[in-house]
């Protein structure tokens, strides 16, 4: 069954695991839904065949007010030969949508062989701000094709005298490797207005990491960076130490599992952070990077002044001593400001419990607030009914 929100602007069949094969399968759920009224469509977690995608595309072409298009995980169980045709239909239907803000094509097994259908959309639609391409098996070749499409998009915007609208790019778990990293770096530099970039678990090594540092440095407004589980080593660390100063608004940085330190020495980029290169930094993840006591000391010495806005510091699976006094000092300092430092599995479990309790308290508070509002509404209605009754009696007399 489809789910339409009370204000009739959201169409969703997300996560229902339905197999849409024929045109009739799609038209049966879209029948009676005016595409002009819809601002969000959520088809993620179902599987859409070629004929069904063609019917869906006909409907999407009339959805001139669409803002969010969720087509994550829509090809499970489909033949590789089906995907390009279905993807072409959907992407082509969205090319001219100037209202579009976000498109999600994550968790689809495109592989490098099925990326071409996205190229016209990525090149010609220069309105969307959020692009999600997580876990698509792109590989270096597929990644390069898409990066080049985004680069061409930025160039066309420049020719028209318009700034890029792209703000958020999410592309983790795609085996992009060094082969496409340089192309992504060029695309990022050309767009220049990114605020969030997440590319974890892509097998990018030092050459690619260095190139990305240069490309992302052209985006002065970056606020959130996630490059977890890629390989920096010394040269990559050096490049990123230089790039950090380009992002004064950075509030979230995830560089866990990135080989930041080979022999326990303090990575240069951590030294730069400790100097206050990013004064708005709130969340820093540095798990599993061979960090030792000198790093914890540096962070402890600067936590109150140069890292005054930091609220979450994750340092699990490094090489700190159990009785490291600097870690204890960090925990005390962070606790004073309502923050947290995670060093062990126990810290992580404790933080999870605290978050669960906080969520429960918030839900309870919301429930009480709703009950109070309901009671107030009932009271006001009773008073209005009583007043109406008195007025009617006065009129009768």
Calculate the CA dihedral of residues 139, 145, 151, 156 and round it to 10 degrees. -160
State percent of the chain over pLDDT 70. 94
> Tell me, what's the pLDDT at 244?
98
CA 307 to CA 273: how far, in whole Å? 8
CATH architecture, domain 3-290: Alpha-Beta Horseshoe (3.80)
Compute the mean pLDDT over every residue in the chain, rounded to the nearest whole number.
Answer: 93
> Tell me, what's the pLDDT at 381?
76
Q: Which tens digit of pLDDT belongs to each residue from 171-193? A: 999 999 999 999 999 999 999 99
pLDDT category of residue 6 using cuts at 50, 70 and 90: very low
Q: Which tens digit of pLDDT belongs to each residue from 329-387? A: 999 999 999 999 999 988 877 766 766 676 767 777 777 776 776 677 677 777 777 77
Q: Which tens digit of pLDDT belongs to each residue from 24-75? A: 999 999 999 999 999 999 999 999 999 999 999 999 999 999 999 999 999 9
Whether the CB-CB separation of 199 and 168 falls below 8 Å is answered with no
Q: List helix spans (H) across the chain.
A: 23-30, 50-60, 82-94, 119-124, 139-159, 177-191, 206-216, 233-244, 268-274, 293-302, 325-336, 345-396
Q: Which tens digit of pLDDT belongs to each residue from 204-221? A: 999 999 999 999 999 999
State percent of the chain over pLDDT 90. 82
Q: Is the predicted pLDDT of residue 250 greater than 50, yes or no?
A: yes
CA angle at 174 for the pair 171 and 177, rounded to the nearest 5°: 105
> Tell me, what's the pLDDT at 272?
98
pLDDT category of residue 5 using cuts at 50, 70 and 90: low
Identify which has the larger pLDDT, 345 or 156: 156
Q: Which tens digit of pLDDT belongs to each residue from 272-312? A: 999 999 999 999 999 999 999 999 999 999 999 999 999 99
> Tell me, what's the pLDDT at 367?
73
Q: Is the predicted pLDDT of residue 138 greater than 60, yes or no?
A: yes
Q: List helix spans (H) across 245-283.
A: 268-274
- Global pTM? 0.89
Taking every pair of Cα atoms in the chain, the longest distance, rounded to a whole number of angstroms, is 96
């Amino acid at each position: 069954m489809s789910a339409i929100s009370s204000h009739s602007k959201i169409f969703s069949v997300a996560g229902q695991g339905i197999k849409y094969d024929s045109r009739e399968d799609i038209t049966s759920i879209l029948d009676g839904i005016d595409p002009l009224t819809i601002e969000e469509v959520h088809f993620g977690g179902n599987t859409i065949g070629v004929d069904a995608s063609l019917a869906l595309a006909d409907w999407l072409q009339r959805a001139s007010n669409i803002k969010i298009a969720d087509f994550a995980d829509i090809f499970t169980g489909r033949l590789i030969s089906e995907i390009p045709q279905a993807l072409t239909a959907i992407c082509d239907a969205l090319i001219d949508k100037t209202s579009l803000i976000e498109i999600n094509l994550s968790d689809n097994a495109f592989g490098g062989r099925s990326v071409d259908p996205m190229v016209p959309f990525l090149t010609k639609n220069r309105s969307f701000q959020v692009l999600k391409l997580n876990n698509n098996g792109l590989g270096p070749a597929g990644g390069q094709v898409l990066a080049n499409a985004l680069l061409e998009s930025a160039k066309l915007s420049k020719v028209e005298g318009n700034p890029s609208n792209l703000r958020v790019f999410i592309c983790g778990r795609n085996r992009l490797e060094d082969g496409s990293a340089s192309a992504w770096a060029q695309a990022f530099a050309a767009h220049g207005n990114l605020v969030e970039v997440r590319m974890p678990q892509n097998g990018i090594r030092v050459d690619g990491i260095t190139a990305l540092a240069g490309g992302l440095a052209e985006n002065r407004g970056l606020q959130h960076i996630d490059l977890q589980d890629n390989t920096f080593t010394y040269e990559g660390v050096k490049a990123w130490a230089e790039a950090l100063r380009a992002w004064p608004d950075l509030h979230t940085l995830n560089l866990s599992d990135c080989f930041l330190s080979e022999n326990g020495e303090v990575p240069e980029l951590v030294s730069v952070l400790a100097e206050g290169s990013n004064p708005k930094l709130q969340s820093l993840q540095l798990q599993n990077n061979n960090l030792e006591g000198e790093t914890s000391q540096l962070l402890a010495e600067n936590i109150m002044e140069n890292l005054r806005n930091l609220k979450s510091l994750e340092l699990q699976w490094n090489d700190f001593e159990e009785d490291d006094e600097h870690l204890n000092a960090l925990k005390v300092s962070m606790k004073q400001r309502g923050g947290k430092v995670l060093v062990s599995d126990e810290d992580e479990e404790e933080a999870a419990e605290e978050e669960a309790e906080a969520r429960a308290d918030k839900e309870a508070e919301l429930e009480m607030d709703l009950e109070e509002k309901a009671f107030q509404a009932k009271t006001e209605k009773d008073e209005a009914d009583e007043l109406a009754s008195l007025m009617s009696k006065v009129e009768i007399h």
